[in-house]
Structure 1
Amino acid sequence: MRFSTAILTLLSTTSLITATGPTKTQLSNRSKKFSLGIVLFPGFEPLDVIGPFEILQSVSAYYPLSISFIASQTGPITSRAPPHVMVPGQPPVDLSHLIAMDLYATHTFTTAPPLDILLIPGGMGNMVLVENNDTSIETFINSRYSELEYLLSVCTGSVPLARSGVLKRRRATTNKSFWGWVTQFGEKVKWVPSARWTQDGKIWTSSGVAAGMDMTYAFLSKVYGRQGVLDNVMNAIEYAPHTDPHWDPFSVVWEVPGADQQGSLESCVKPVGW
C-alpha cells in the first residue's frame, strides 16, 4: 500500500495528536464514514479539486471517508476547456495549446452513490457549460440536495449552485476576477463581495482557486474540530491557511463593486496551532 508524504508524516507523529474540546457532534463525525463526491467536467480548474483533495486525503487516514469523482461519463476528464467565447461578441478562444491533466471519473450523474458531501469546482469549463446550455450539474445538484449534509463550491463552481436555485436568499462568494460574470446567475443570491469563503447553512462557497483550501480547512474544522489531526495535517503538508473569512484583498485587486476597500492587503498567515 502506498501513502502520500503527508499521510506518512501524520502516521509517524501520532504522539502530537490531541483532541481538545471537540463537540459531541464533532466526536460523532470522527467515526462516521462520510460519502464525498467531487464533480468533474472538461475544463475544471485543477487546484479547485486537488487542493481540497490533498487535505481530505490526509484527514481520511484518521477519519473515514469514501470518495466518488462524478461527471457526465466515466473515464478521463481533462482540465483543458473546449473552445468557447470568453468575451461577448468575440470569436471562440481555442485553448488546445494549454497543458492539461486528466482526472478519472468513477461515476456518472446517474450512477453516483448516496452522498453526504458534494464539492463543485470552478474552471473555464463552466463557461462552456453555460454557453452550451448544459444543465447536467444543476440537475444533479437538485436531485441530491435534500440528502446532502454539506454542499461546497470553489471559485466559479458557485455558478451551477446559483443556476440550480439552491443559493436563493443565501450568502455566497466566488472568484473575484470573474465576479461580473458569475453574479449574473441565480435569483436573490446574497453575493458577498469581500469574502475568502462563506457559509450559509449547509452551503459553503469559496473565492478563487487557492481559496478552496482555506474553505476546506474551515469546513473540516467545523465538521471534526481542528485541534489534533486537522492541524497536524495542515502542518504536515506545510500549508498555512487563511482563517479569517473576511480577508479578501483580491476583491480590491479586481475592483469588485461593494468590496471593502479599507481591508488589509497584507497576509498574516502562520502555521496553525502557533
Structure 2
Amino acid sequence: MRTSTATVFGLLSLLRPRVLAQTYDPSKTLSIGIVLFPGFQPLDVIGPLDIIQILSGSHNMTLSMIWKEIGPVWARAPPRRTPPPANSSLPIAVYPVQAPHIVATHTFNNTPPLDILLVPGGMGNRVLHENNDTVIEDFVAARYYSELQYLLSVCTGAASLAKSGVLNGRHATTNKAAWAWPTQFGDGVKWEPTARWTEDGNIWTSSGVSAGIDMTYAFFRALLGAAVVDPVINAMEYTPHTDRHWDPFSVVHHVPGADTSGPLGDCVGPAGYEYECPRKNTASTHTLVSPINELPLIAK
C-alpha cells in the first residue's frame, strides 16, 4: 500500500473504538461483500457463500461480489513472475486443468455501502503482491474505517488485511501450510499459530480453506443466534468444528509456536445437538502416517 494511504488509515484507526459492532437489526437489510481476484481459492468463497445464500432466504441481505471488472473471475491463478520456493506442505495443484469462475457483480469503485466484507485467499494474491497491486488492501482499509460493521478473512486472505493495516495490534490467524507468507505483513499483528479461527473486536480471521466454513458458522451464530443458524448448518449436513482453538494443521505443517499437546482429532456432530464421542486422542505426541517430507512439492 502507498505510504500516504497507510498513514491516513493508520490515524483513522486511532479514532475507531475496538469494540464489537452493533448487533443485527432484522428490520434493516444486511449488505455483504465478498472480494474476488484471479486465482482465489474456490472453497474460501463458496463455503461461506453457501451459508449466506441459505440465510438470505429468511433474512434481508444483499450480496456484492467484488473485483476490478464486472464479469467472470477465474479461480486459476495467473503465472508468477518468479518461480517460488518449493512448499512440501502442499500437493501439486499450481495450474489445475479446470477451475471455476464466479461472476463479479460490482467493481471496487461502484460497490454499495457494506456491513460485512469477506476476503478470501488463494494463489492469486501472491501475483497481486508481486505486481505491487494494492487494490484489495486499499479497498479493505477504506471500507473498514468508514462503514464496515464486520471484516472477515479466510486462509491467506489475512495477508490482505495485514497489508491494509487493519490488523495492526490485533489477534489473527491464517493458513497453516502457507504460514510464513501472510505473517510477514502488518505491524504488531498477534498471529495465533494454533487457532481454527480468531475473533478480535469486529475482525474475524480463519485458518486454511475449509476453516472458513467453521468461522462463518461461528460468526453468524454470534450475530443472528443459534436458532437461526444451526438449522442452516444441519440442512447443509455439515458438522462444524466449534472450538476455535482446535488446530491440528498447525502441527501437521510445523507452524512455529504451535501447541503440539492437543489432540489431532476432534469430535464433531450436528449443530445444536448433544452427542457422545466414542474416542478421543489425548496423547501429547503425534505420529504422522504420511510424513510431510513424502508429500509432492508445490509452489507457495
TM bucket, shorter chain: 0.7 to 0.9
For each residue in 1:6-50, what CA deviation from the matched residue of structure 2 results, as whole angstroms up to 9, or x when unmatched?
A: xxxxxxxxxxxxxxxxxxx75x53333110000000000000000
Alpha-carbon separation, structure 1, partners of 2:162 and 2:106: 24
**Residues 1:73 and 2:72 aligned together:** no
Q: Which residue of structure 1 lines up, in the alignment, with residue 84 of structure 2?
A: 87
CA shift in 2, pair 1:99/1:30, >3 Å: same
Alpha-carbon separation, structure 2, partners of 1:114 and 1:264: 43
For each residue in 1:71-97, what CA deviation from the matched residue of structure 2 results, as whole angstroms up to 9, or x when unmatched?
A: 0111110000001145249xxx99555
The Cα shift of 1:214 comes to 0.2
Q: Which residue of structure 1 lines up, in the alignment, with residue 51 of structure 2?
A: 55
SS at match of 1:77: strand
Check the 8 A contact 2:197/2:207 in 1, yes or no. Answer: yes
SS at match of 2:64: strand
Query: What percent identity do the matched residue pairs reach?
Result: 59
| Paired residues, number | 245
Alpha-carbon separation, structure 2, partners of 1:254 and 1:244: 19
SS at match of 2:185: coil
Alpha-carbon separation, structure 1, partners of 2:140 and 2:213: 22
**Residues 1:98 and 2:97 aligned together:** yes
CA shift in 2, pair 1:97/1:258, >3 Å: closer
The Cα shift of 1:128 comes to 0.6
CA shift in 2, pair 1:60/1:178, >3 Å: same
Instruction: State the TM-score, normalized to the length of structure 2.
Output: 0.79
Q: Which runs of no fewer than 5 residues in structure 1 stay unpaired?
A: 1-24
For each residue in 1:167-216, what CA deviation from the matched residue of structure 2 results, as whole angstroms up to 9, or x when unmatched?
A: 00000000000001111111110000000000001100000000000000
Q: Which runs of no fewer than 5 residues in structure 2 stay unpaired?
A: 1-21, 87-91, 274-300
SS at match of 1:54: helix
Q: Which residue of structure 2 lines up, in the alignment, with residue 111 of structure 1?
A: 110
Check the 8 A contact 2:76/2:96 in 1, yes or no. Answer: no
Q: Which residue of structure 1 lines up, in the alignment, with residue 191 of structure 2?
A: 191
Check the 8 A contact 1:115/1:148 in 2, yes or no. Answer: yes
SS at match of 1:159: helix
1:39 partner amino acid: V
Alpha-carbon separation, structure 2, partners of 1:176 and 1:86: 21
Check the 8 A contact 1:158/1:173 in 2, yes or no. Answer: yes
- When the two chains are superposed, the root-mean-square deviation of aligned CA atoms in Å is 1.7
Q: Which residue of structure 2 lines up, in the alignment, with residue 123 of structure 1?
A: 122
Instruction: State the TM-score, normalized to the length of structure 1.
Output: 0.86
The Cα shift of 1:221 comes to 0.9
1:159 partner amino acid: A
